[in-house]
Structure 1
Amino acid sequence: VRTLHRQGADLIKIMPSGGVMSIGDDPNHQLMADDEIKAVIDTAHALGMKVAAHAHGKLAIDKAAALGVDSIEHGSFADAESYRIMKAHGTWFVPTMLVGAKVYERARSHPEQLNPSTAEKALMVVPVMVRNLHDAYAAGVKIAFGTDTFGMSAHGENAQEFALMVKAGMSPADAITAATAGAAELIGDARNIGSIQAGRYADIIAVAGDPLADVTTLEKVGFVMKGGTVYKADGKAVAP
């Protein structure tokens, strides 16, 4: 952790549970000892860094949250007790619905393109993700937008996450807040990003439509401003 901090990292991601894409582990198993999880969190926080936990299994979710991790990524097998622990410790939940949907789709349509264990785990894990986001949202857990984008979901498709969050029960307004003010608060940069206010970075997008009525309009961005400079207008690139 200290080495990564010296190299410029501002966030540490730990893997306290098995994964879906990884080979040879079980998403339900806790793969880090409690002392290891605590050592990472305490060291990172002392250096002003955030800690995210890739956690599918309930045990890893509960332990990481209780030990002070900043966010749980995936959270597939969380339950009501998990949500109580997360609320008590102010833990954020990043549901990563898009990558789950993409892996599940691949496991069903082209299982030969995945490692057999990955396909099997995807079919087991992903169906519970929608229910879990619904339950976490209903329980009042803080939710931040995140896609876990990699080869299954390409950069540029990120906004498809919004529709999946709304399908799971979030209001469009809350899904948008999760991607703006919520995500900014989670990473500790709300003083600069996440809202349109005097003194914040002028990072703004606009769409032709009302995303509160149809959240999929956010998948068709027509205007992009970054740091006060317009890079896209009327759906076309603009030379800065």
Structure 2
Amino acid sequence: MGDKVIVNCTVVDGRTAEGGAPVPDAAVLIRGERIAAAGPLAEVMPQASEATVIDLGGAYVTPGLVNMHTHLSLSLPGAEGEGVKAMGPHDLALYMADGARRTLACGVTTVRCVAEKDHADFALRRAIDAGRVPGPRVFTAGRALVCTGGHGHEGTDTLECDGPAEFRRGVRAQIKAGADLIKLMISGGIAGENERIDTPQLSADEMAAVLETAHAWGRKVTAHAGPATVIAEAVALGLDCVEHGYELTPEVAAAMAARGTALVPTLLVTRCADFFEELGVPAWMRARSLGAGPRHLESYAMALDAGVTVLLGSDMPPFWPFEGTNATVRELEHMSEAGLGPARALHAATLGPARWLGADADLGTVEAGRYADLVATDTDPLASASAFRTVRWVMKGGAVVRDDAAVPSLA
């Protein structure tokens, strides 16, 4: 690919939450897959004499979004979920590839998969990296580790283990397959009929075995977790991230902040009645989800007050059409409106996740050396997280994958 230079734009990224400033009348020079220069037009253009000009017509340019709680093979209880569970390996691969394409078209250029069926996520990642399938960059946990009968045990996206030795083997099996991180189910949740959100599911020695083994191999561990007591125990043992955190306390939030344990709150999962209706989710699950909503928001507020690092993750498929936008953007709106604010929401959707993934040398900002994973919006993301409803142009690795001014696109 020849050089490209993006002009007629304002560059905004997550550094604004740390004292940085937007760059109006900006230009971004792209050489191959990466950004060669970014800054004021007058400084960048002398380096771009032979570059193809991409005029974005006054748009705001941000890094591509990072969705940190993704299931491209999601199958919740209900009719639609049963259909996904019944798919053979070939159908499942194509289903997930279609989801990856739709995800990228939304402006989500990186995902963190936190339990996918049959290790199909690794095949999907290879296909995306080889250019055979359009999709986001994929960081994945492989199969989540659960106790016998634990949360999510019904599907092939989890691996049942019991006792420290089996959990150690489970960690190693995911790493052998290519996992970038480990996902652990340490409590009940919304989708398990024979459990409660506050059902503890692992012993301390089982959690310790996972954390010690994963960390020895250089992998972080994230945990599906609802109740404060279970989370407190895992944080004390060195847990790197909490998914959901439905029932935090100020004390546990403070411990998370002190330890550097991040939170992916997935606020959507307790306020998505229409999504559950669409999938035919049973009444017991809908009631449990909506009933947990008020306490979920209180927990999120406690995390913000304590200074916990919060990161964007939808749990719902990132691309799913929902309430006038897609699930990723709707989650970001909830996070912003519930106390985070637009600037910190942008950080939680870009630079924060890149740092957690250990990929901030490549992702998360619009600056030289990073991958040219970029989106353009019509309105200012620092004024409202809803600006991402107006995404109209997406680039990944220097290639334009969506341009609403041209056809066809990936949308």
Which of 269, 288, 305 pairs up with 1:121? Answer: 288
Q: Check whether the contact 2:317–2:327 (CA below 8 A) recurs between aligned residues.
A: no
1:9 to 155, 175, 179: 179
Distance 1:18 1:229, change over 3 A: same
Give the aligned CA root-mean-square deviation in angstroms: 2.5
Shift of 1:35: 0.8
Aligned residue in 2 for 1:175: 345
User: In the alignment, residue 348 of structure 2 is paired with which amino acid?
Assistant: A
Of 303, 309, 312 in structure 2, the residue corresponding to residue 145 of structure 1 is: 312
Greater shift after overlay, 129-138 or 42-51? Answer: 129-138
Q: So what's the TM-score if we normalise by structure 1? A: 0.90
Give the superposition deviation at 1:62. 1.0
Partner of 1:35: 205
Question: Which amino acid is 1:11 matched to?
Answer: L
Q: Is the 8 A contact 2:187 2:224 kept in 1?
A: yes
Closer/same/farther in 2, CA of residues 8 and 19 from structure 1, 3 Å limit:
same
Cα pair 2:263 2:310 within 8 Å, conserved: yes
The corresponding residue for 1:136 is 303
Amino acid at match of 2:177: Q
Measured in 2, the distance between the counterparts of 1:236 and 1:18 equals 47
**Distance apart, 1:153 and its partner CA:** 4.8
Whichever of the two has the greater Rg, that structure is 2
CA distance in 2 between partners of 1:22 and 1:154 (Å): 25
Counterparts in 2 of 1:181 and 1:5: CA distance versus 1, 3 Å: same
Q: CA deviation at 1:193?
A: 0.7
- 1:96–1:148 Cα contact (<8 Å) kept: yes
Alignment partner of 1:81 out of 230, 251, 254: 251
* Residue number in structure 2 paired with 1:67: 237
State the identity as a percent: 36
**Could you tell me how far 1:114 is from its partner in structure 2?**
3.1
Return the TM-score normalized by structure 2: 0.54
Which residue is equivalent to 1:215?
A: 385
- For 1:75, what is the secondary structure of its paired residue? strand
In structure 1, the gaps of 5 or more residues are: none
Structure-to-structure mapping, 1:47-62, within 5 angstroms: 47-62=217-232
Please give the per-residue CA displacement for 1:31-58, whole angstroms capped at 9, x wherever unaligned: 1101111111111111111211000111
Match of residue 44, structure 1, among 203, 214, 221: 214
Structure 2 unpaired stretches of 5+? 1-170
Larger fraction in strand? 2
Q: 1:171 to 1:239 in 2, by over 3 A?
A: closer
Alignment partners' CA distance in 1, 2:183 and 2:321: 21
Distance 2:392 2:399 in 1: 15
Instruction: Output the CA distance in 1 between the equivalents of 2:409 and 2:367.
Output: 25
Give CA-to-partner distance per residue, 1:168-189, whole Å, 9 cap, x none: 1111000110010101111221
Deviation track 1:63-101 (CA, whole Å, cap 9, x = no partner) reads 121111111000010010111110121100111112322
Count of residue pairs brought into register by the alignment: 237
